[in-house]
Chain A
Amino acid sequence: MTGEARGVLDLVLSGSPEVWGPAGLSLSCAAAAALLAAPLGIPLGMLVGAGPQRWRRGLRALVDAGLAVPTTAIALVLYLLLSRRGWFGEAGLLFTPAAIVLGQTLVALPVIVILTADAAASLDPRVHWTARTLGASGPRRALWYAGEIRGSLVAALLSAFGRAAGELGVALVLGGNIRGSTRTLTTAITLETARGEYERAVALGALLVLFALAVVAAVRFAAPRRAGA
Chain B
Amino acid sequence: MSAALSARGIRAAHDGRTAAALDALEVAPGECVALVGPNGSGKSTLLRLLALLEVPLCGEVSILGIAAGPAEADRERLRRSVTLALPHPWLFVGTAIGNVERGLAARGVPAAERRERALRALGDLGVAGLAHRDARRLSTGETARVALARALVIETPVLLLDEPFAHLDPAAVPAARAAVERRLAAGTAVLAAAVDPADLAGLAARVVAIVPPAAR
Contact = CB atoms under 8 A, between A and B. Distances in A.
B49 to A, nearest CB: 12
B84 A133 contact: yes
- Interface bracket on A: 10 to 19
Nearest to A127: B90
Interface string B83-102: 11010111011100000001
- Interface bracket on B: 20 to 34
Contacts of A130: 86, 89-90, 92
A135 B106 CA distance: 6
A122 interface: no
A126 B90 contact: yes
A62 to B, nearest CB: 22
B90 A147 contact: no
B189 interface: no
Given A52-B72, A129-B48, A140-B106, A134 B83 contact: yes
A129 B86 contact: yes
Contacts of A137: 76, 106
A144 B106 CA distance: 11
A147 B200 CA distance: 36
Contacts, number: 59
A124 B51 CA distance: 18
Residue of A124, A134, A137, A148 with highest tally of chain B CB at under 10 A: A134
A126 B102 contact: no
B34 to A, nearest CB: 20
Contact of A136 (B48, B82, B102, B150): B102
A132 B79 contact: yes
Contact of B92 (A129, A135, A147): A147
A150 interface: yes
B80 interface: yes
B72 A129 contact: no
Interface in B33-71: 48, 51-53
Interface string A139-178: 0100010011010000000000000000000000000000
Interface of A: 52, 124, 126-130, 132-138, 140, 144, 147-148, 150
12 contacts: A127-B90, A129-B84, A132-B76, A132-B79, A134-B83, A134-B154, A136-B106, A140-B105, A144-B92, A147-B92, A147-B93, A150-B93
